[in-house]
Amino acid sequence: MTLTPVLEIGGSHVTAAVVDRSSGTVVRRARGAVRAAGTADEILGAIGAAASQVAADAGAIWGAAVPGPFDYTAGIGRFHGVGKFDALNGIDVGAALRDRIDPRPAGFRFLNDAFAFGLGEWRFGGARGHDRAVAITLGTGIGSAFIHDGLPVTCGPTVPPEGRVDLLTIEGRPLEETLSTRAIVAAYGSGCATVADVAMRAADGDARAIRVLESACVGLGHALAPWLTRFDASVLVVGGGMSAAWELIAGPLRHSLPAGPTPIRSADTETSALIGAAEYGGKASMTSNDQAA
């Protein structure tokens, strides 16, 4: 076995694990709650507590999947004015976590959480065997990874700016104003607090809920379509919390992608992110592909 300890950090949770990279198996896993609006000590303490439960080897290099904005090379939070993890802005997260995890790690290799998901899907998930794959996560926002031969492509003419779908626009508006938890709840109006609420109503035949979800997915498809073609992707994998409503969103998304791959649902978003973080953390030579694909 080739074991690598990893972290997957979200806006409300942290998952720590030890992953066997040779088989894509999660050997040990521990979860904890994280309060994104908490103090730095609260956030880092929650992450350290979860990480200490998985009994990683002392002196290990951890792979760590973290949402942006984040300086992934230096390991420093850049969460100014984004409504989450503001207390970590300017904090050397790697140094702070080394003092909070038992046994003490040697260091961390940080990567974007959507990149981790895409790498995991490419290695052992729905994108396995594909040279060019696109993976997106749908939740509070939109995450994306354009993967070429196991590396994320972040610049060049075949991908959106920084390889980020959330930077795309629809009719002059940011895509996340069409497809995100905030956008969908606002479009539905009073009575629903989450996308799951809207999805439940849609499943029960609520015409307004159905229209809201269809409109959001059609907008996503129209934004994605030209980039799937430019990147020559042979698979599109969809994960994240919103993918739980796959029966409702798959049809509109497929119909808005007249060319290119048929979207498929990730079997397990979290596990794929853990595997991707292990792949990145366990290979010191792995770097982002910054060339045109």
The CATH classification number of 128-266 equals 3.30.420.40
Measured distance CA(208)–CA(260) in Å, rounded: 29
Give residue-wise pLDDT tens across range 116-165: 999 999 999 999 999 999 999 998 889 999 999 999 999 999 999 999 99
Please give the average per-residue pLDDT across 235-251, as a whole number.
Answer: 94
The distance between the two most distant Cα atoms of the chain, rounded to a whole number of Å, is 56
DSSP labels for 24-78? TEEEEEEEEE--TTS-HHHHHHHHHHHHHTT-PPTTPEEEEEEPSSEETTTTEE-
What is the model's pLDDT at position 284?
A: 57
Fold of the domain built from segment(s) 3-115+272-281: Nucleotidyltransferase; domain 5 (3.30.420)
Other C-beta atoms closer than 10 Å to the C-beta of 37 total 12
Which residue do the tokens 């994104």 mark?
Answer: 36
Q: What is the pLDDT of residues 30-42, one digit of tens each?
A: 999 999 999 999 9
Per-residue pLDDT, 69: 92
pTM of the model: 0.93
Domain ranges of the chain: 3-115+272-281, 128-266
